[in-house]
Amino acid sequence: MVDTQYLIDTNKLLLDEWNIAHPEDLQPIGVRRPEVDNIIPMVEKYDKNQNEFEDLIKKASYLMAIVSWIQAFLDGNKRTGIVSAVKFLYDNGYDLDISKKDEKEIRSLLYDIQDQRVSLNYSIVDKIIIYTTKRTKIHESRR
């Protein structure tokens, strides 16, 4: 499972890469500690069923959604959520394929989640689950 330290390290790496590539548009690096500490416990609370694939998809989707919604980092929350979900699925034998064409759709959903500050919008999470399900395939090494 992706843990809190992985989220922090991933966010820093993504923003370091951005800042090197875009010195004219530096993005701040920082963690809102109480928020980041809540991410993994919130992801673990989702409704589980008896299907391993569906549970992995839900967990990855909730990870993307919650990182984007809770805004635990000063910048790069959506990128951190996406990369963390991809790693989580990969570590569990699946590939999440987000092409450049499809990236706009997931970013739009994550912006919608982010805009819902009062509570996590589960109807948007359901759309993220559908998006993730359509683009996740078993990793070649597990076939």
Crossing angle of helices 33-44/52-70, nearest 10°?
Answer: 160
CA pair distance 54, 56, nearest whole angstrom? 5
| Of residues 98, 95, 93, 6, the one with CA closest to residue 43 | 6
Q: Determine the pLDDT at residue 2.
A: 86
DSSP codes joined into one string, 43-78 = HHTSPP-S-HHHHHHHHHHHHHHHHHHHT-BSS-HH
- The predicted-structure confidence for 67-115, as pLDDT tens digits, reads as follows 999 999 999 999 999 999 999 999 999 999 998 888 899 999 999 999 9
pLDDT of residue 25: 96
Task: Find tokens 């819902």 and name the residue.
Answer: 116
Decide if 10 contacts 84 (C-beta within 8 A). Answer: yes
pLDDT digits (tens, 9 = 90+) for 7-27: 999 999 999 999 999 999 999
Domains by residue range for the chain, with CATH: 4-22+31-142 (1.20.120.1870)
Work out the pLDDT band at 34, boundaries 50, 70, 90.
very high
